[in-house]
Amino acid sequence: MPPSSSRLPRPPETVEHCPVDTALAVIRGRWKGTILWLLSERPMRTSELRRRIPRISERMLIRHLQELVGDGVLDRHDAGTVPPHVTYSVSEYGRTLEPVVRALCSWGGDHLDRHTPAR
């Protein structure tokens, strides 16, 4: 059995606000994990994110970026120029999600390996 420090906290008898659901609500969305993963490398402009995620629609990309900024996970930097030059980066608060994103990435890779037929 793992040491007690690595165990999950014991859930209360009744759950009104589940911390797991709260965390997942912030990163829930078809492309939010991908956006966070890409921006963990370095800040990027909207157009670069769009190129790096070819299957995402412009509307969905903007929506996810706005939600992540609203939750304080991303910072939006507007150069105030015409044409607009907007760059997104992971905020200081968003950096606290990096271990979670790393763990999800690792688990996802293992899951892909497990479920991808050998070639």
Domain CATH number, residue 26: 1.10.10.10
In a domain, 101, yes or no: yes
Q: What's residue 1's pLDDT?
A: 43
DSSP per-residue string spanning 83-104: S--EEEEE-TTGGGGHHHHHHH
In a domain, 69, yes or no: yes
Domain that holds residue 88: 19-112
In a domain, 10, yes or no: no
Q: What's residue 69's pLDDT?
A: 98
Residue ranges of the chain whose pLDDT lies below 50: 1-4
Q: Which residues contact 87 (CB under 8 A, 6 or more apart)?
A: 43, 44, 45, 76, 77, 79
Q: pTM of the prediction?
A: 0.81
Specify the number of domains making up the chain: 1
In a domain, 6, yes or no: no
In a domain, 57, yes or no: yes
Instruction: Write down the mean pLDDT value for the chain.
Output: 89
In a domain, 65, yes or no: yes
Q: What's residue 5's pLDDT?
A: 56
In a domain, 8, yes or no: no
Q: What's residue 36's pLDDT?
A: 95
In a domain, 118, yes or no: no
Q: What's residue 21's pLDDT?
A: 87
